[in-house]
């Protein structure tokens, strides 16, 4: 009985996620679910995307956190449309939380929605919030074993961002070990190495976002009869 109840709950979450995706499609918005540990640089990565895409695409953000709104305040100072969701004790954003948030975001004014999930490499991966793709973010400071320890994220993500590469000379991080573990999990996933602090590699990050959106638009054309 408990298993059946859990399955029913997950199916309902999937239905809500699908509704969210329909709403986003209706407004021409491409959504990404950004997943990474606390301190990996999720908000910094969004700031970098904003700067890279100025004049090319408008970004909106849903910020997931247990209690604080510091990241939302930080992003609003840049001029981004940002909305805070506090989960209390929850370790991830749910499709229902995102559904409520979408009604408060001016979707007609943005092209890309980045959902910054609660800092966690496990729970957020299992829920579809309405995004087109999950983005896996890890930092050099976390060590080179994350793909091996948290394989589900690296199986499901459309891209892996390796942040804080400027710290490699000061740590025991091994690129060889990182890529070896990653390729066992997902042999073809693209990796973007960058440093949000120095700006190295952030251009490639912006290009990936724009490229993904353009490719998605092209794939959807037949569905729309265009």
pLDDT tens-digit profile of 86-107?
999 899 999 999 999 999 999 9
pLDDT of res. 1: 43
Q: Domains of the chain by range and CATH?
A: 2-218 (3.40.50.300)
CA distances in angstroms from 215 to 24, 53, 209, listed in the order given: 17, 17, 10
C-alpha to C-alpha distance for 150 and 226, rounded to whole angstroms: 41
Output the pTM of the full model.
0.92
The set of residues, in sequence order, having a beta carbon less than 8 Å from that of 167 and lying 6+ positions away, is 139, 140, 141, 173
* Residue 123 near residue 91, CB atoms below 8 Å: yes
Q: What percent of the chain has pLDDT over 90?
A: 89
Rg (C-alpha) for the chain, rounded Å, is: 17
- For the chain, give the number of residues: 226
pLDDT of res. 217: 76
Q: Which two tokens stand for residue 196?
A: 């949000």
Report the sign of the C-alpha dihedral through residues 144, 150, 155, 158, in that order: negative
Average pLDDT of every residue of the chain = 93
pLDDT digits (tens, 9 = 90+) for 3-54: 454 556 678 999 999 999 999 999 999 999 999 999 999 999 999 999 999 9
């Amino acid at each position: 009985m408990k298993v059946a109840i859990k399955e029913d709950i997950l199916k309902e979450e999937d239905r809500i996620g699908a509704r969210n995706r329909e709403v986003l499609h209706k407004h021409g918005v491409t959504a990404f679910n950004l997943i990474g540990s606390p301190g990996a640089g999720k908000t910094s990565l969004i700031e970098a995307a904003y700067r890279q895409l100025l004049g090319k695409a408008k970004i909106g953000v849903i910020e997931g956190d247990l209690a604080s709104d510091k990241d939302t305040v930080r992003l609003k100072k840049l001029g981004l449309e940002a909305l805070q969701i506090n989960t209390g004790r929850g370790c991830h954003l749910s499709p229902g939380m995102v559904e409520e948030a979408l009604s408060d975001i001016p979707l007609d004014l943005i092209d890309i929605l980045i959902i910054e999930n609660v800092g966690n490499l496990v729970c957020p991966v299992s829920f579809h919030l309405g995004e087109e793709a999950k983005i896996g973010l890890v930092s050099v400071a976390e060590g080179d074993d994350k793909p091996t320890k948290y394989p589900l994220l690296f199986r499901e993500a459309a891209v892996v961002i390796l942040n804080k590469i400027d710290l490699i000379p000061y740590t025991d991080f091994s690129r060889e070990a990182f890529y070896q573990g990653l390729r066992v999990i997902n042999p073809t996933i693209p990796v973007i190495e960058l440093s949000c602090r120095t700006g190295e590699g952030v251009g490639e990050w912006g290009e990936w976002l724009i490229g993904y959106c353009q490719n998605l638009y092209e794939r959807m054309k037949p569905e729309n009869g265009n």
